[in-house]
Structure 1
Amino acid sequence: MHNRSLSRELALLSLGIIKDKGDLVLSNCQIEEIFESALDSLINHCRDELDDCEADLENVSQNLLDSELKEGSDSSFANVRDELKKAFHKIESVMNSLSVTLDFPKLVVSSNQNDIREDVNHRIKSIIDNLQTIDSEIDEVMDGWRLKRLPRIDRDILRLAYIDIHLLDTPIAVACDEAVNLANKYSDTQGRKMINGVLRRLQKVKVK
């Protein structure tokens, strides 16, 4: 996982722990505790996804076995099943490898790569210190909606994209791609559509 992508995701999870108001003041110690909680949340989220994949794989494997018993030795079905078996074995191997390396975020952050921790802290502080301005300028491109009406996760994804574009000088295309990736992982269909629309309008404002 790219360091910047990891820090954005950790910043998103950290923001979800913090109260959503403009006059909030947090100490470095409090931000550190929030960061650790976000890191644990990310790892637990990955483990949940892995468990879901494992359950799906078991169901498909059972269905495959049932089809073998029903279809007998039909050559066309046998060929398809052989290919599926190869694919399932490969997926299973990847999943096993993933389970071993699942603590990668924790290892990276606890190693000498302090840039991730510092980047997350900087993003959090940037949003907290400029929350009213950020929300106001996002509201201006909401096209009939208000930012406060969106689910918290969607608001925070847009706030992170805003500071990427306007405060951190991240290339617009990169900032938007990262926001879309977060939306795909953490938001729902309606949220993803809304975020995409707002990002397009934020791009136009930045370009001008």
Structure 2
Amino acid sequence: MISKTQYFIIFSFAIIFGITGGLFDLPFGVVVTGIAAAVIFISIIPYVYFLYYATNTSKIEQFLSVRKRQPILGFYWALGQGKPDLVEDQLEKVLRKYKSPSHQALFILAEASRRGNVRSVSSHLHQVKQTHIREYYEVQVLLEERRFEEAKGKADTLKKDWMNESILGRLYSLSGDAEASRNHYIRASQCCKGVQRYLLEGMY
């Protein structure tokens, strides 16, 4: 979905590039290719920014909400809302569209993680190709099995700081220390940007 601002930028660029092409007698193919490349680039900028770089979670939520009919974005939006029925509905849409077992595993595990029950879908762990993501969910299984010391030790070896901090947040939550849990979730959200920050801020 392209916003009005993007439409304006694309239209303006097309006119400017078209006029420039005429003035410098550029081949028609070059002009069309340049305009097409600009359209694609301008269209994907918001996706890259809000998914990976934005820090304002209210704007991230707004971005996802407007595009929630797109299965993956709708799934992330639903996770942030924290409503189980809504999440399940969006997960079904994702699974219907994306058939790859490795892709499906990521969304299934993310949904289970939000419920605090990764162990129930642990059979999907071996389908996750990214080692650091698989290890993150494996540590969550340890937490659910109340193997706290083992989980804490493995958390220190996780590749990303937000993973370590979120594991500690969950650990202290299960241990009954709400304040320590919240502090770790806050630190976890500060270690990342984009959708991941949006989801982590919903944990405290």
Q: TM-score, normalised on structure 1?
A: 0.29
Q: Which has the higher contact order (CA 8 A, sep 6+)?
A: 1
Q: TM-score, normalised on structure 2?
A: 0.30
